[in-house]
Structure 1
Amino acid sequence: MNILRQYVFPALILLVFLFTLVVVSIRSFLPGDMAQPAPIEDLTPIASSTALMAENA
């Protein structure tokens, strides 16, 4: 158990950190339109959608 605590778990944490760092860094090499955040379309508010559900029930 001591080997896991001293070597395996820190190595796994380091590998996960490095993997996420690489994945996030890849965004800078994407084409310009893909590097932008996703557009937010006209979203229906939750209150009005629940009111519609209550009317239909």
Structure 2
Amino acid sequence: MQFFRSIILPGFIILLFILALIVVSARIWLPGDMLAPAPFS
């Protein structure tokens, strides 16, 4: 359990943070019409 807390958990949190950063930066490079909500009809 100590190994999990000291090695796995921080690595998982950092990986999740990097993934969120990639998703947010990918949204910046998308064209503006793709950022708009999808039309209903």
Q: TM-score, normalised by structure 1?
A: 0.58
Unaligned 5+ runs, structure 1: 42-57
Q: How many corresponding residue pairs?
A: 40
Could you tell me which runs of 5 or more consecutive residues in structure 2 were left unpaired when the two chains were aligned: none
Taking only aligned residues, the RMSD between alpha carbons, in angstroms, comes to 1.5
Of structures 1 and 2, the larger Rg is shown by: 1
Written as runs of structure 1 = structure 2, the 5 A alignment for 1:6-21 is 6-21=6-21
Alignment deviations for residues 2-29 of structure 1 (CA, whole Å, 9 cap, x no partner): 1110010010011011101101110111
Higher relative contact order (CA 8 A, sep 6+): 2
The runs of 4+ residues in structure 1 deviating greater than 3 Å are none
